[in-house]
Structure 1
């Protein structure tokens, strides 16, 4: 049975949208932290870890990465450019490029902070804040787009067809449409 990563994303999307009733998604509030934000942060990052492993296996079946920088190497070597993708919280005018640090072969700050919260929550509780939760949520969105694009492309190539990333984005339906990728190709979709 296929793991449906998109369904996990959608459940987080509902949680994030509900959260916005209590915390305004504004850069002024990025340092706000709570038990609920900690729960979301740890769960979203756990899903990112699972999805990164699955994505790397699609890209290179012989790879066996287990750490964030090992995942980055597989993805960068396969010439995927997810590190340059910017995501928007459209209703609030906030943009995030969650994997930008990979371009310099560095770990994203939101991931470093996640490890601190996961291993030393008593000391790093404040790092489970809105800014880190939103960046990790944006990362999960980007990973889902790239994972499903690669998965669909494998099957379509066997039949002599090709699916663009735009078509993948359109095929993944969101009930709430909290995030949108901010690439030039998405602008084409709106035309």
Structure 2
């Protein structure tokens, strides 16, 4: 199986876990601070995948740099900004409740420091390194933002790295479809890149 298909299949599996979770926690703005063991697992799963795939993407964008040099989120920022400036503005929405996320918008340089997204610094990292003292970081908001961040990353990796570009069958990949069709859980909203419409982002 081509690597980009593996990434999409992983996200589909993650999304199924979110669907199951939604039976017990209503995905509503009033519940965004609700936390649980299952949400903690989902954040770790998504964050760990982001960690690995982001390093792969950076190495593809700037192959002259060794992978070991992309050891944290601060080192990923320059290659992403230099090659994929639209990355930070990509939005993900949840059609079932109308919530919209721009997960990488806060990832920017402030003076001489790289500022991490809240869900990464105070969600994923706190759970990963200080879980016993920061269990409340495993909240619904951080979990949804983390999943949205992973989806943005997989989309960009698939389009800008995969060669040939992936071809998706809408009937098989119902999550990742143009918004004029009926989406399921997560769906891309806007793509500020060389594609004028969302339909051009997908190749059927």
Residue 109 (structure 1) aligns with: 118
Residue 2 of structure 1 and its aligned partner are, at CA, apart by: 4.5
Contact 1:148 1:168 in 2 (8 A): no
**Aligned with 2:97 (options 87, 92, 99):** 92
Alignment of 1:7-26 (within 5 A): 7-26=9-28
Residue 38 (structure 2) aligns with: 36
Query: How does the TM-score come out when normalised to structure 2?
Result: 0.78
1:155 to 1:183, Cα distance in 2 relative to 1, 3 A: same
Residue 78 (structure 1) aligns with: 83
Which consecutive unaligned segments of at least 5 residues does structure 2 have?
A: 176-182, 200-204
Contact 1:149 1:168 in 2 (8 A): no
Deviations 1:85-112 (A, max 9, x none): 1110111100010000124442000000
1:188 to 1:181, Cα distance in 2 relative to 1, 3 A: closer
Deviations 1:102-148 (A, max 9, x none): 24442000000211111111111000110000000000111110000
**Aligned with 1:122 (options 132, 137, 143):** 132
1:19 to 1:99, Cα distance in 2 relative to 1, 3 A: same
1:11 to 1:134, Cα distance in 2 relative to 1, 3 A: same
Residue 183, structure 1, aligned to residue 190, structure 2: yes
1:177 to 1:151, Cα distance in 2 relative to 1, 3 A: farther
**Aligned with 1:147 (options 157, 171, 177):** 157
**Alpha-carbon separation, structure 2, partners of 1:50 and 1:35:** 23
Residue 61 (structure 2) aligns with: 59
Paired residue total = 180
Which consecutive unaligned segments of at least 5 residues does structure 1 have?
A: 157-162
Deviations 1:23-70 (A, max 9, x none): 111111011011111111111100111111111122111233111121
Contact 2:190 2:198 in 1 (8 A): no
SS in 2 for 1:122: helix
Query: How does the TM-score come out when normalised to structure 1?
Result: 0.83
SS in 2 for 1:66: coil
- Report which of the two has the higher share of helix: 1
SS in 1 for 2:93: strand
